[in-house]
Structure 1
């Protein structure tokens, strides 16, 4: 979309790891030196750690890009949430060997035969495990066991372990001593500094034919670094959106304000639905609370009414009882006062006339 607007031959800030865009920062050059040294040894494990998006996979692919393909046979595994047996199947499948329905013994036999054939053809078998921080200790131990395939003078399989910083915790746990003894090179890939981040942006643009359009002032580069912290993937995401905004608004020079606008847009896209006053969710919640309060009030009113009615009924009954008691007492008095124990003739039991004879 914006490529043709700015006269670029392709997307400079794609997220897919591409060795064509490899940028040799100080950290990446140092990591590359460790990888090359490790490969020259032809055995053991090479460990590269770094933050998410630091460029670990791009680093390894760039290394492969500089090696004769006829000398390296590589298997790349990125799904590491696996148990040891499934990991072995992934390794076998990664080298293009049949694995379906095979027992563990069959898988190991096929893999060993394949590795020996590679050796006879003067090829090196390389296993690359991405996202190594997800490996559980049993799976790591299974990978270590694969390094036991060897001839009298050399190992038949070499392994790269790429992971986030927490993989180093796994590596230094008590049960990993045998693996640590087989690590011949290890490097932690850190972020780029501000100067390298600027050079990185310009390098990727130049790779697709950038001739200075669009331009970035010093404030824009500072804002890019402040947001991304020198992490390549975050830099790619931000700059890709920045160029898209430039295309939509017909911009040819980016300032810190433009960068910050894009940062704000990206932040808004990842916000949770608003829950403040006036939001749809808040309206729903308020309506529900209002309904609950209304129900509670009705229930309270009903309960109060029932109590009031019950009290009124009880009061009425008490009044009737009191009247009955008064009447009974009056009759008893008359009975006691009349000779013979009976009321005088013509005297009503329920009235209050005197008990004197006429």
Structure 2
């Protein structure tokens, strides 16, 4: 809707984890470098922890995008699976048809043989599990047992878990001590600093094709940072809504008033001065309704 108005090649703040938008913030770049080092070094078990909306999935997609043909990757984005379903999902990612093996022991044997074949051909296999905090206790144990698949000298499978802080809390339980001992590298993904926010906005707008300088005023960015608390997903949501509001009003610059509209319209945003926000008048939702009505009326007249 506002893409042409701001002369953009694509939407800059889409929530879709597009690797092209990966921003080299200090924390994110450190995490990415750590992942690359660990995988290239053959480390068996790696864990990345981050708050909701901190950019874990984008980091995972960036890693997938960066690995060359030497690596065979298995990506499981929704691990709310039973142990049986998890093994089947892993088999499918490897190109196997789990329907051929009704017995789970036979399926595991088939996976093992396939991993040996891949290893013999010079391939390395990496299993990436997003939202790993959703794994059941039994499925977490299944992941640990999968890492037992090895030759006399080499691990046949590397595992990377991306999860929320709840995963760390669970792993502190003594019942998971064997799994915890397998994790050779762990990294906690930090939220953005105020300086990071400026770099982040500039990067995403540049990738989207924006060339007109600062789109957000300093006051708008300050408010955005307070409202988002440095969480990239909330930054994206607020930015998108502010752009929509600016488009609706015909403004080429987003000031703190437009940003307040975006914050007011976003339930998950932290509202610094809630009482003041409630008297701003039209919210983003009302602007959208008006835009839709105008578009409808123009279409009717045409």
Give runs of aligned pairs for residues 258-273 of structure 1, distance below 5 A: 258-267=258-267
Name the residue aligned to 1:104. 104
Deviation readout 1:292-335 (Å, 9 max, x if unpaired): xxxxxxxxxxxxxxxxxxxxxxxxxxxxxxxxxxxxxxxxxxxx
Partner of 1:181: 181
1:183 Cα shift?
A: 0.8
Q: TM-score, normalised by structure 1?
A: 0.72
- Deviation readout 1:278-301 (Å, 9 max, x if unpaired): xxxxxxxxxxxxxxxxxxxxxxxx
C-alpha RMSD of matched pairs (Å): 1.6
- SS where residue 75 of structure 2 aligns? strand
Shift of residue 87 of structure 1?
1.4
Q: Distance between the aligned counterparts of 1:57 and 1:266, measured in 2?
A: 22
Deviation at 1:116, TM superposition (A): 1.1
- What secondary structure, in the 3-state scheme, does the structure 1 residue paired with 2:73 have? strand
Is the CA contact (8 Å cut-off) linking 2:64 and 2:73 kept in structure 1? no
Identify the residue that residue 160 of structure 1 maps to in structure 2.
Answer: 160
- SS of equivalent residue, structure 1 residue 167: helix
Kindly indicate whether the alpha-carbon contact (under 8 Å) linking 2:131 and 2:164 is maintained by their aligned counterparts in 1: yes
**How far does residue 92 in structure 1 lie from its aligned partner after superposition?**
1.2
Deviations 1:191-235, CA, capped at 9 Å, x for gaps: 101110111011100011111267211101101111111111111
C-alpha distance in structure 1 between counterparts of 2:243 and 2:214, whole Å: 8
Q: Which runs of 4+ in 1 moved over 4 A?
A: none
How does the TM-score come out when normalised to structure 2?
A: 0.85
Using the alignment, how far apart are the partners of 1:26 and 1:207 within structure 2?
19
> Which consecutive unaligned segments of at least 5 residues does structure 2 have?
269-302
Mapped partners of 1:140, 1:29: distance in 2: 28
Q: Map of 1:215-226 to 2, 5 A cutoff?
A: 215-226=215-226
- Whose relative contact order is higher, 1 or 2, with alpha carbons under 8 Å and at least 6 apart? 2
Conserved in 2, the CA contact under 8 Å of 1:80 and 1:132?
yes
For 1:266 and 1:137, the matched residues in 2 are separated by 35
Q: Distance in 2 between matches of 1:267 and 1:64?
A: 32
- The answer to whether residue 143 in structure 2 is matched with residue 143 in structure 1 is yes
Question: What is aligned with 1:312?
Answer: none
Name the larger-Rg structure.
1
Q: CA deviation at 1:10?
A: 0.6
User: Are 1:88 and 2:87 matched, yes or no?
Assistant: yes
* Partner SS, residue 74 of structure 2: strand
Deviation at 1:190, TM superposition (A): 1.6
Q: Distance in 1 between matches of 2:141 and 2:70?
A: 27
Moved more, 258-267 or 187-196: 258-267
